[in-house]
Amino acid sequence: MEDNLKKYMANLHVLIHNALNFHWNVTGGLFLTLHELFQHQYDFFFKQIDILAELMKGRNMLPPITLPEIENLADLELFESKDYTARDTLEIQLKQFQFMLDLSNKLSTFYGEQHDLALEDFFIDMSKFLGKHLYFLRQILKQ
Ligand SMILES: [Fe+2]
């Protein structure tokens, strides 16, 4: 259970880094729209990572914080700083958000069965946000 939460948190760190990266580096006519969308995402993920860290500390677990630890634990790929087309950023996010939605759904079910309501609620909030943003990403990609 501790390993699941550490891994999830490492993935959340990667989502924040990639959202910041794309916020700065996306190019083209959709720049301002996506710049704002990615800012909205990293603001939410940053709030969530602190909530998760405090839930872990309350259960005697240490949240991962060093960059090597995060890179080691994460499943998601961290992308280098360079220019990205709008389509590249959206397609990368589509894959990574879908992966995190599946993981969030699994963990909300798991903690629900453990009657750990705070963790269940945390993963439900993540699922709601990721599900909504997957819809946004698909709509933009349809153009
Ligand atoms: Fe900014």
Torsion from C-alpha of 15, 16, 21, 24, nearest 10 degrees: 130
Question: What is the domain extent for residue 81?
Answer: 2-142
Q: How far is the CA of 143 from the centre of ligand 1 (A)?
A: 26
Reference 1, options 120, 86, 129; nearest CA is 120
- Specify the number of domains making up the chain: 1
**What's the CA gap between 132 and 9, in Å, rounded?**
20
**Residue 142, pLDDT score:** 95
Residue 113: predicted pLDDT: 97
Q: Which structure tokens are listed for 126?
A: 């993540």
CA distances from 45 to 28, 42, 142 (A): 25, 5, 25
Q: What is the mean pLDDT of the chain?
A: 97
What was the pLDDT predicted at 101?
98
What's the confidence (pLDDT) of residue 140? Answer: 96
CA of 80 to the centre of ligand 1 (A): 17
Name the pLDDT band for 21 (thresholds 50, 70, 90).
Answer: very high
Q: What is the CATH number of the domain that holds 118?
A: 1.20.1260.10
For residue 84, the cross-strand partners are 26
**Distance from residue 123's CA to the centre of ligand 1 (Å):** 27
pTM of the model: 0.96
Cβ contact 122:55 at 8 Å: yes
- Tell me the pLDDT tens digit for each residue of 42-92: 999 999 999 999 999 999 999 999 999 999 999 999 999 999 999 999 999
